[in-house]
Amino acid sequence: MLHPVDPGACAPTPRRSRRPLVSLVGLLSLFLAGTTRAQEDPVEALASALREALATIERLEARIAALEEGAAPTSDSEADQLEAQLRALIVDDPATQPQRTIFPSASNPRIGVFMDALAEAGNGEEELGDGDRFSLRETEIDFRMPISPFAEGVLVAVHEDAGNNEFESLVEEGYADISWSGLFHNDTALRSRLGRFRVGFGKDNRLHLHDLPQADRNLATQYQLGGEGVIGDGIEFSMPLAHSDSADGLGATTSASLAFVNGELFTGEEGILGERAEDDGLEIDSDAPLIVGRVTHYRELDARSDLEFGASFITNMGSDTITTDAGNEITPRAYGADITWRQRGDETLVGSWLLQGEYLQTDFQATGPANPSFPNTDETNHGFALTAQRQMSMNTYLGVRLDRTDMLASAGEVEGVSPYFSWYPTEFFRVRTQAQYLSMRDDATADDSITRLLFQFTWNFGAHMPHPYWTNL
């Protein structure tokens, strides 16, 4: 049956029939009368009483029936008739199947595996310090599961290509995502991430590699924050500050996040200062905590477009700074601003546009002995990236990214143009081609031009993970 309609479920409820009881008592009385005809009056009296009782029951039944008939709304009979007609019209369908009651992943986290392979052709291997021509660049395993009624546990473990057929593993993120409204049974929208996480700084920095709209991070992020962006250990608080809906139903939301993390955002192996220190054989360390803040304003412009502004910062807490074993003391600060505009095409999303701009600035105030990596000066670097992307069909995207950024600890700068084309044969497999022309000036005189072609293949299996909302409409 297509949808099993219980024949009795919607049919008029039958009144409980007393006919069998009446008949039984009647037969009993006749039997008693027949077999005790010669006996005394008490038996006849009993039979007579039974007959009277039967008559009373019948009268009462008739009364009940009459009352029920009068109390029933006329629509009931109409509904009953319709129901009977409907049941006669419904055709049995053997195609339905029972709902699953066994969940294979019970008590285990949802697991998503993302694999990212890159093939590269062109020059610039020396300047960019990239790995092999072909590499399984990153394998990311994402585990998620509620750990309480008010919190979810997240672990993102990464196995990445370190070049020369060597790999290294790291915990990219591992945190508890806590809802304070659930924890304290109140109406606050405050959430916290506790553990290790991508800090809420910038736009590109907050994304995992497989979520990026291009094959690589924008140059400002790479050259000012490090190839992996900045990831910190600590606690982050986030909450919406205000929300309103206009009479047209268009929403505007302002939200903020504030994180307190260890000071190694820039000094880890992948950090921008850490890489420099390693190149010069210096030990670098920081135990001074950092504050990372971000404010975002999101606004629906009309039914087909929206706009988001974001501003973020990283600054130190107190007077402690990053130190090297050569005696350098560096105080880091970073600022970011970004804007994203989306416009939906037709209902198929073909013709949709994404325009995005990001500006980053890092300040490193260095004291102590001058060395190539950490000159004894205050250094300020700027960089930006502009991206335009158009959805060409239901599963293809064409875009271009323009980059310019200063290089740390030098007078150098990098400019780039990166057109790209993304094709999703399925939701779980993506092919991307990206051309890249880079102009690198390491100092005031040298000028290197790099042209390369990147082929990126990304696939995933396991549980679906949410995409960043701005990648689609």
Identify the CA nearest to 238 among candidates 180, 300, 151: 180
Half-sphere exposure of 298 (CA within 13 A, CB side): 12
> Which of 131, 195, 200, 336 lies at the binding interface for other proteins (CB under 8 A)?
336
147 binds other proteins (CB under 8 A): no
> Which of 53, 55, 60, 79 lies at the binding interface for other proteins (CB under 8 A)?
79
Tell me the closest approach of the beta carbon of residue 213 to other proteins, in angstroms: 14
- Residue 336 · residue 359 · CB < 8 Å: yes
85 binds other proteins (CB under 8 A): yes
The C-alpha atoms of residue 402 and residue 340 are separated, in whole angstroms, by 15
19 binds other proteins (CB under 8 A): no
Nearer to other proteins, 146 or 372 (CB): 146
Tell me the closest approach of the beta carbon of residue 303 to other proteins, in angstroms: 8
Q: Looking at 15-23, 166-174, 431-439, 464-472, which segment touches other proteins (CB under 8 A)?
A: 464-472
Q: Which residues contact 434 (CB under 8 A, 6 or more apart)?
A: 214, 215, 216, 418, 419, 420, 421, 453, 454, 456
Token readout for 94 is 């053997």
Q: Looking at 23-31, 124-132, 149-157, 449-457, which segment touches other proteins (CB under 8 A)?
A: 149-157
Nearer to other proteins, 309 or 421 (CB): 309
Q: How far is CA 334 from CA 202, 257, 302, 337, 418, in A?
A: 10, 16, 34, 11, 25
Residues binding other proteins: what is the number (CB under 8 A)?
90
Q: Looking at 25-33, 46-54, 390-398, 414-422, which segment touches other proteins (CB under 8 A)?
A: 390-398
Residues 195-254 that bind other proteins (CB under 8 A): 239-247, 249, 251-254
Nearer to other proteins, 14 or 104 (CB): 104
> Which of 32, 117, 337, 431 lies at the binding interface for other proteins (CB under 8 A)?
337
> Which of 68, 93, 302, 325 lies at the binding interface for other proteins (CB under 8 A)?
93
> Which of 38, 71, 394, 444 lies at the binding interface for other proteins (CB under 8 A)?
394
Beta bridge partners of 307: 299, 341
The C-alpha atoms of residue 350 and residue 241 are separated, in whole angstroms, by 34
Q: Which residues contact 446 (CB under 8 A, 6 or more apart)?
A: none
Residues 152-191 that bind other proteins (CB under 8 A): 152, 177, 179-182, 187-191
Q: Tell me which DSSP letter residue 469 carries.
A: G
Residues 257-316 that bind other proteins (CB under 8 A): 295-300, 306, 308-309, 311, 313
Tell me the closest approach of the beta carbon of residue 470 to other proteins, in angstroms: 8
Residues 417-436 that bind other proteins (CB under 8 A): 425-428
Tell me the closest approach of the beta carbon of residue 246 to other proteins, in angstroms: 5
Nearer to other proteins, 351 or 369 (CB): 351
Q: How far is CA 176 from CA 154, 191, 282, 370, in A?
A: 6, 10, 34, 42
Nearer to other proteins, 123 or 181 (CB): 181
Tell me the closest approach of the beta carbon of residue 421 to other proteins, in angstroms: 16
Nearer to other proteins, 13 or 445 (CB): 13
469 binds other proteins (CB under 8 A): yes
Tell me the closest approach of the beta carbon of residue 55 to other proteins, in angstroms: 39
Q: What is the DSSP string of 2-50?
A: -S---TTTSSPPPPPP-HHHHHHHHHHHHHHHHHTTTS-HHHHHHHHHH
Q: How far is CA 302 from CA 395, 469, 472, in A?
A: 24, 17, 16
Q: How far is CA 314 from CA 64, 232, 306, 336, 430, in A?
A: 81, 11, 27, 9, 34
The C-alpha atoms of residue 419 and residue 473 are separated, in whole angstroms, by 22
Nearer to other proteins, 59 or 467 (CB): 467
Identify the CA nearest to 128 among candidates 117, 120, 136: 120
Residues 350-389 that bind other proteins (CB under 8 A): 350, 359, 361, 363, 380
77 binds other proteins (CB under 8 A): no
| CB crowding 192-220: b at 16 or more within 10 Å, else e | bbbbbbbbbbbbbbbbbbbebbbbbbbbb
Q: Looking at 12-20, 74-82, 371-379, 409-417, which segment touches other proteins (CB under 8 A)?
A: 74-82
